[in-house]
Amino acid sequence: MGLVWLIVAPLAGAVVLLLGGRRTDRWGHLLGCATVVAAFGVAVAAFAGLLGRPAEDRTVHQVLFSWVPVGELRVDFGLQLDQLSVCFALLITGVGALIHIYSIGYMAHDPDRRRFFAYLNLFVAAMLLLVLADNYLGLYVGWEGVGLASYLLIGFWSSKPSAATAAKKAFVVNRVGDVGLAVAVMVMFATVGSISYAGVFAAAPRLGDTTLTAIGLLLLLAACGKSAQVPLQSWLGDAMEGPTPVSALIHAATMVTAGVYLIVRSGPVFDLAPAAQTAVVIVGAVTLLFGAIIGCAKDDIKKALAASTMSQIGYMVLAAGLGPAGYAVAIMHLLTHGFFKAGLFLGAGSVMHAMADETDMRRFGGLRNVLPITFLTFGLGYLAIIGIPPLAGFFSKDAIIETAFAAGGLRGALLGGAALLGAGITAFYMTRVMLMTFFGSRRWTEEAAGAHPHEAPAVMTVPMIILAVGSVGAGAVLAVGGTLTHWLEPVVNPAGAHEAHLGIPIWALTAITLSVVAVGVGLAYRMYAATVPETAPEDVSALTVAARRDLYGDAVNEAVFMRPGQQLTRDLVTLDNRGIDGAGSALAAAVAALSAGLRRLQTGFARSYALSMLGGAALIVALILAVRVW
């Protein structure tokens, strides 16, 4: 267990590949893969080590060095391995390793493949630091590292203006959320005197409601940025401009899961701040519907999957906002989502690989016979995400729906209804993706595709097959017998809080959920099984137009934040120029004018100075005589 720090071995790979330059081009991709595979091996060994310990003794701390010994602020650079962080470490390194291997084939002809793998290594290392840090400052370093790596990878093909713009957009939007985390850390130190998890959580019951609510809302703001939740969701669709393996890594194993981790890790704070907890569930419920609606109108296969991620993370945030009853199910859905969403994105990449990088599903069709392995693996991911039993999504998503309804009262009805409606919409747009891509008539020709469409090489299909296996079996492994719930209980529910119970049998809610899913599948089949329009129809509903424009997320940000911010900046510049600088300039001008007047009295003639002295003496004598007479 003393070698936990080796989990961040991908950082060494990134350093070697970036500093080694072109000399590492021939073998850089192999080193990039090896470091992540090695990190996965260490994570598995660490997991096995935790299994061999008693449940109450499964938290391992490792202090590497004294980091910030400044006055009262003393922060050690330490790592914490426990039941929660090891789940993330296994997901990040396991799925990350498969994405790295897939990238060998996907980026085979890119002249900058070595640099790409360096950035992938940096991404994985930053995410590992984020989840393994034992304090909020260490988490913040990993948080910013993830943001930097995403900027580099989304804009990897920066020669494309759209990619450069998307990278800047992701970076700027995430900076807004990062301010929330930075201020939260400052508030923690100011009120608690510590920024370690142990110190903050131990002191939380002594803090006032206002302070706890403020910390909770600031952490939620940070989570909204990284996990693309309303109102900071606008960057996620544009991030598809990066290479497809980047999309898989962002959506399945790294960046967007960071916000869920932050909320669950900070559970002791949110449990004592009901107002902040309510804000979390509202954000999750709104976002899961927001993303699902957007996904219904996207013709770009990657952007449809991106909207799906926004919605699925919304499910996780909703569950995390339900407190101890929802933390474990949020993590369960996060883990199962890591398998099927990575598989879906890699499948989309395989389709693009066969279709000369085409992403418009209106130009696909009939690919199931051309790409049989991609069709099978993508299809299993599709069945998993819509929640068909016994695939992974059935266990995790249904658990969230049950937990939402179990909240009871009007609150439970609203949250459960939103989650149930989201399941139906998910079934609709994902069925639409399947039908438009793999079924129906071919809407392409070999000349238009740029090459004869063919299955991807084994280095790409093998990771897809492994992820498909996880999409099938991960849910049962984690859910049956409450395996994951019992594993996480000492961390996310140490007090053994009483969980609410459904007012109806679970089998009845499951039947209702599957019925809603079936309706979604049926509607999509009716609309898209026969024909797919090659161009978007002119006469469409207002909701469809809004969904195609991401429900006007960019327009709202522009109207509410950007333009008022620009006007405020202009006003401040005017105030600075005319007010602050103007006052200083006016004073300087007055002094200059006075000096110019005084200079005129300096004639250089002695008789003038004598006359001035005589006049002054006469004036003083006159004043004295006047005072005496008075």
Q: In this model, does residue 541 exceed pLDDT 90?
A: no
Short-list 412, 425, 471, 435, CA closest to 291: 425
- CA separation, residue 507 to residues 39, 502, 503 (Å): 41, 11, 12
Q: Which of 157-166, 300-309, 586-595 has the lowest average pLDDT?
A: 586-595
Q: What is the per-residue DSSP string for 245-301?
A: HHHHIIIIISGGGHHHHHHHHTHHHHTT-HHHHHHHHHHHHHHHHHHHHHHTT--BH
Q: Mean pLDDT across the stretch 351-377?
A: 93
State the pLDDT at residue 70.
82
Q: Confidence band (pLDDT; 50, 70, 90) for 242?
A: very high
pLDDT at 344: 97
- What confidence tier does 1 reach under pLDDT thresholds 50, 70, 90? low
Residue 440, Ramachandran bin (φ over 0: left; ψ between -120 and 50: alpha; else beta): left
Cα distance between residue 580 and residue 572, in whole Å: 10
Q: What is the DSSP string of 477-533?
A: HHHGGGHHHHHHHHHH-TT-PPPP--SS-HHHHHHHHHHHHHHHHHHHHHHHSS---
* CB neighbours of residue 20 within 10 Å: 15
pLDDT at residue 229 greater than cutoff 90: yes
Residue 494: the pLDDT is 65
Residue 604 has pLDDT above 90, yes or no: no
In 109-208, where does DSSP find H-type helix?
A: 113-132, 136-154, 161-192, 197-203
What proportion of the chain, given as a percentage, has pLDDT over 90?
72
The pair of structure tokens assigned to 534 is 């090659």
The stretch 322-343 carries a mean pLDDT of 95
Q: What is the pLDDT of residue 449?
A: 59
Taking only the tens place, the pLDDT of each residue in 165-208 is 999 999 999 999 999 999 999 999 999 999 999 999 999 999 99
| pLDDT reading at 540 higher than 70 | no
Query: 499 Cβ partners below 8 Å, 6+ apart?
Result: 324, 325, 406
- The encoded tokens of residue 547 equal 């969904």
pLDDT at residue 167, rounded to an integer: 96
Res 81: pLDDT:
93
Indicate the pLDDT class of residue 380, thresholds 50, 70 and 90.
very high
What are the Cα distances from residue 24, in Å, to 13, 15, 99, 112?
Answer: 11, 12, 20, 11
Out of 265-274, 435-444, 606-615, give the one with best mean pLDDT.
Answer: 265-274
With 70 as the cut, is the pLDDT of residue 256 above it?
yes
Give the number of other Cβ atoms within 10 Å of residue 108's Cβ. Answer: 13
Q: How far apart are CA 368 and CA 374, in angstroms?
A: 8
Dihedral angle, C-alpha 354, 355, 356, 361, nearest 10 °: -140
Averaged pLDDT for residues 14-43: 95
Tell me the per-residue pLDDT of 143-165, one tens digit each, with 9 for 90 and over: 999 999 999 999 999 999 999 99
Distance CA 264, CA 334 (A): 12
Residue 526's identity, in one-letter code, is R
Share of the chain above pLDDT 70, in %: 96
3-state class (DSSP) for residue 626: helix
Instruction: Give residue 404's pLDDT.
Output: 95
pLDDT score, position 135: 95
Q: What distance in Å separates the CA atoms of residue 535 and residue 51, rounded to the nearest whole number?
A: 55
Mean pLDDT of the chain: 91
Q: Is the pLDDT of residue 288 over 70?
A: yes
- Alpha-carbon distance of 254 to 256, in angstroms, equals 6
pLDDT at 448 over 70: no
The packing angle between helices 458-479 and 392-405, to 10°, is 40
Whole-model pTM? Answer: 0.90
Q: What is the mean pLDDT of residues 352-359?
A: 91
CB of 87 closer than 8 Å to CB of 50: no
Q: How confident is the model at residue 126 (pLDDT cuts 50, 70, 90)?
A: very high
Give tens-digit pLDDT for 102-121. 999 999 999 999 999 999 99
How far is the C-alpha of 122 from the C-alpha of 151, rounded, in Å? 12
What is the per-residue pLDDT for 545? Answer: 87
For 424-442, b/e burial (b = at least 16 CB within 10 A) is: bbbbbbbbbbbbbbbbbee
Confidence of residue 539 (pLDDT cuts 50, 70, 90): very low
